[in-house]
Structure 1
């Protein structure tokens, strides 16, 4: 089982590559969804890392996949600017999953 990265910048891709994680750099919603679809159909990919900026481009689809898909696990990672509050995103996912606002 392996990780796969979908990033919006080359810096994140290069850093992850040094850690042994392969990935792609994309910028448009369509590209994100295409790469995510490819990753979901590869049996050896267990975790897909996606930068915050790209999550925001297709949050509706990714949120639904996180709630419905067992594999791969989709994990949001901060980009090089790191200005997004991951905790709030996690709270939203949990609230959506259980139907109670936290």
Structure 2
């Protein structure tokens, strides 16, 4: 199973340096969706950033609706870190309680 990255330039560069061969710089709209559909059928995991995924939520939904299980799309923080709302949601899922991160 191969890994591909579809993300911003900095993220793509980092993963290329780590040895990922299939990587596309694509940030928004049609550019992002086209990059997903150009991936090889051998790709099992697609890595993108949380911010790009959030900006392209509809494109990701269309892509997932046309595929069965693979590829799995993994959203990672970019160089600016995780977005606060996503962190709150992860904590809520993990512990079952919503917290206000400004109180921490």
Superposition TM-score, scaled by structure 1 size? 0.70
Superposition TM-score, scaled by structure 2 size? 0.69
Q: Deviations over 1:26-71 (max 9, x none)?
A: 22211000011112xx2211100011121112213324617x6311
Q: What CA RMSD, in Å, does the superposition of the two structures yield over aligned residues?
A: 2.9
Match of 1:59 among 33, 57, 60: 57
Larger radius of gyration: 2
| 1:55/1:76 contact within 8 Å kept | yes
Structure 2, unmatched stretches of 5+, are 94-104
Misfit runs of 4+, over 6 Å = none
Structure 1, unmatched stretches of 5+, are 93-102
Q: Displacement, 1:73? A: 0.6
